Homo-oligomer: A and B are copies of this chain.
Amino acid sequence: MKTRDRILHVSLLLFNEEGEAQQTAVDISNALDISPGNLYYHFKGKDAIIHALFDRFEDEMRIILSGSRGRITSLEDSWVYLYIILEEIYDFRFFYRDLGLLLDRYPDLAKRFRTILSRMRTALVDVLDELTAGSVLRLDPRLREVLTDQFMTTLTFWLAEDHLNADSHDGPTLIHRTVLQVMCLLPPYMGDRGAETLTDLFEHYDTVVA
């Protein structure tokens, strides 16, 4: 692995495990066992590393969020799609843990972060529309935005909430749990198939976290 990539990789690990605010450029070079000068040759300080990590997160999210259109035709597809989104967020979880604070400190990232949120909202509305068009859901049109708001709140704050509850979850379990929470909002809009679908969702959850 090139030094530049190693720096990004180890920084991400450190930020995710210890929190970003606590880490300095010197901590990062120590963890990599390289000199601060060598680190500085690749990145002009910690801010440049944060920005490079954000670039990566932004690129990957753009690809994921533009990949749903026309492809989510069932609740199974929705589960997988939500899992992929949450897994991506989990990989860069230090951004989300103290989001308000991070965005106060990096106002240029706040703007780009809001663009990601807005893309995510569009992708989720698309999924609801496709499931409705495919008669999987019968959704009162007035609930489209309300339900999307609810999804967005959960998908933005699930990591902060987990931290708050101080339970310990491994990543995949926490991700599946969050997907289950979001998916359980849908069966009420499935008419007669709702109760059966709910059973399927709980059973699927038990299978994947077993």
| Count of A interface residues, CB-CB < 8 Å | 40
Interface assignment of A103: CB less than 8 Å from any CB of chain B: yes
Among candidates B110, B158, B181, B195, residue contacting A146 with C-beta atoms closer than 8 Å: B181
* Number of identical monomers bound together in the oligomeric complex: 2
Q: When the two chains form their complex, are residues B184 and A146 in contact, meaning their CB atoms are under 8 A apart?
A: yes
Note all chain B residues with C-beta closer than 8 A to A166: 110, 114
The chain B residue with its CB closest to the CB of A113 is: B164
The chain B residue with its CB closest to the CB of A183 is: B146
**A-B CB proximity, top 3 nearest:** A188-B188, A157-B157, A146-B184
Interface residues of A (CB under 8 A from B): 97-101, 103, 110, 113-114, 117, 140, 142-143, 146-147, 149-150, 152-154, 156-158, 160-161, 163-166, 180-181, 184-185, 187-189, 194-195, 198, 202
